[in-house]
Structure 1
Amino acid sequence: MTRIATGEITTHVQRLDAVRPADATGEPPVVVFVHGLLTDSLASYYFTVGPAFAAAGVDVVMYDLRGHGRSDRPRDGYRLESFVGDLTGLLDALGERRPVHVVGNSFGGTVAAALAAWHPERVATVTMIESEPPVAEWTRHMAAGLDDARRRLAREDVIDWIAAHHGAHTARLSRGASRILATTTLADDVPAGRVIADDLSALTCPLLAIFGDESGLAAQVPELTAKVADCRTVVLPNQGHSVLVERPEETRDLILGWVTRHTLAGTAVR
């Protein structure tokens, strides 16, 4: 386990070095994986797509968001800009100077988009998996969703229902999410954070957006393709929000292709 100081907190990070042939030249691309809120951690990448990226010749960085996994859990400080500050602090602490390919699942995709908007010089590409960019409408969605989660997950009958219908592991994750919501200001902070303009003009980096057709987030496709110059959207059929866990091979291949395309095109060098 590696824990690194990233500003006012300590962040748990795992790195996987690229597997490269002996005669390889130059630096490999680097992908930073950012997980979602409450029930998620870097493990969702470590046990799905992370090792495959390293095997394909990509340096991999995975880390736990503040309040999650083995990273510190402060009482407050959960606005979006704090999550982005943690990521830039982590890259600085790792001595990472290459523009990174940032892959974010759910809330992690919002963090990735915010990093690209506020620090475009540090980003080669962005991949959002079942995510929204940090615009005003996103804050309203998050406020409603987090308030509902805070109320419902505090009820024992809800946890019992989750255990009966989704298994003991999911119930344990839900209890952990309830503890985060009860012991931090996350539910209030996230919707109050900094946003970008609705026209998405701040997103100048190439963007890959992957959705499940059953989650509702795929409704963003026309807007994303109209507003982001270099944008590819993929909607997976018969799929809900859990794209990364339920469709890891397809997700891996889509992102690897995206990273390879833009590395060869030179966008990873600015």
Structure 2
Amino acid sequence: MAKVRTGEITTHVQRLPAANPPADGGETPVVVFVHGLLTDSLASYYFTLGPAFAAAGIDVIMYDLRGHGRSDRPPTGYRLESFVGDLVGVLDALGETRRVHVVGNSFGGTIATAFAAWHPDRVATVTMIESEPPVAEWTRHMADGLTDAKNQLAREEVIGWISANHGAHTARLSRGASRILATTTLAEDVPAGRVIDDGLDALSGCPVLAIFGDESGLSAQVPDLEAKLMSCRTVVLAEQGHSVLVERTEETQELILRWVREHTLAEAVR
């Protein structure tokens, strides 16, 4: 593990090198995993997808978002463009010049799609897991969700209910989320950030894999994604809510590995 400077903050990064680089001397693909907001950190990938991808011959980069895990927690500076700037900063600090496959869970997928729209020359593919691209509708969803979280998680009876119904570990994560919301401007900054200027059209040239649970409501995006993105593949998992990454890890791993390998081969043929 390491800490690197990304603009005005220090970001915690962990790399897992490919176990078996290409024997023919070809370029090893690299996947960057981007986690979600508030209760998440790079650990969610370390204990799910990260080691399996490295074992499959892929270089893995994981990092903690600003305000999360072992990265710095500044009091302000949580607009989407800052999160994307941190991703650029991580790649620059690591000297990474390859086009990367970016995998984002929840808000991490929003960062991934914004990164692809604003830095298309650095992206091979995007995978969004239970995510929304940063278009106008996303802004409204985030404003409502973060305001509600900030109010509810500050109430001790809510934390008690979470502990009773979801366990002590989830309650600890919820307390941590409440501290982030109480000590930073994240709840106000995220909805006020930059969106993709041309909507989904800005992603039309990027291969996008979108994985949803059918019970979360985010799968309602599927028709729009398929209609507007030329290189888009959508997968909706039956009887599944928002926690796709932790509850359907093996299926998610297989889908993304196949996606990355398919596009790595396609790049090699060009």
| TM class, shorter-length | over 0.9
After superposition, residues 38-77 of structure 1 pair within 5 angstroms as 38-77=38-77
Q: Secondary structure at the match of 1:26?
A: coil
Report what 2:224 is aligned to. Answer: 223
Tell me: CA distance 1:267–1:189, structure 2 relative to 1, closer, same or farther (3 Å): farther
Report what 1:235 is aligned to. Answer: 236
TM-score (normalised: structure 2): 0.97
Give the C-alpha shift of residue 197 in structure 1: 3.9
**Post-superposition CA distance 1:210-262 (Å, at most 9, x none):** 00000000000000000011000000001000000001100000000000000
Q: Secondary structure at the match of 1:101?
A: strand
Q: Secondary structure at the match of 2:113?
A: helix
Give the C-alpha shift of residue 22 in structure 1: 7.8
Give the C-alpha shift of residue 267 in structure 1: 7.5
Q: How far apart, CA to CA, are the structure 1 residues paired with 2:147 and 2:24? A: 51
Q: How far apart, CA to CA, are the structure 2 residues paired with 1:141 and 1:22? A: 43
Q: How far apart, CA to CA, are the structure 2 residues paired with 1:198 and 1:39? A: 31
Contact 2:22 2:57 (C-alpha < 8 Å) held by counterparts: no
Report what 1:8 is aligned to. Answer: 8
Give the C-alpha shift of residue 99 in structure 1: 0.5
Report what 2:35 is aligned to. Answer: 35
Q: Give structure 1 stretches of 5+ with no counterpart.
A: none
Contact 1:136 1:198 (C-alpha < 8 Å) held by counterparts: no
Tell me: CA distance 1:117–1:268, structure 2 relative to 1, closer, same or farther (3 Å): farther
Report what 2:85 is aligned to. Answer: 85
Report how many aligned residue pairs link the two structures: 269
Q: Secondary structure at the match of 2:61?
A: strand
Q: How far apart, CA to CA, are the structure 2 residues paired with 1:143 and 1:64? A: 22
Give the C-alpha shift of residue 196 in structure 1: 1.1
Matching residue's letter, 1:247: R
After superposition, residues 1-270 of structure 1 pair within 5 angstroms as 1-20=1-20, 23-197=23-197, 199-203=199-203, 204-266=205-267
Contact 2:35 2:108 (C-alpha < 8 Å) held by counterparts: yes
Q: How far apart, CA to CA, are the structure 2 residues paired with 1:37 and 1:6? A: 19
Q: How far apart, CA to CA, are the structure 2 residues paired with 1:21 and 1:189? A: 41
Contact 1:99 1:268 (C-alpha < 8 Å) held by counterparts: no
**Post-superposition CA distance 1:176-219 (Å, at most 9, x none):** 00000000000000000000146411102100000000000000
Q: Root-mean-square deviation (CA), in Å?
A: 1.3
TM-score (normalised: structure 1): 0.97
Contact 1:262 1:268 (C-alpha < 8 Å) held by counterparts: no
Q: How far apart, CA to CA, are the structure 2 residues paired with 1:21 and 1:141? A: 42
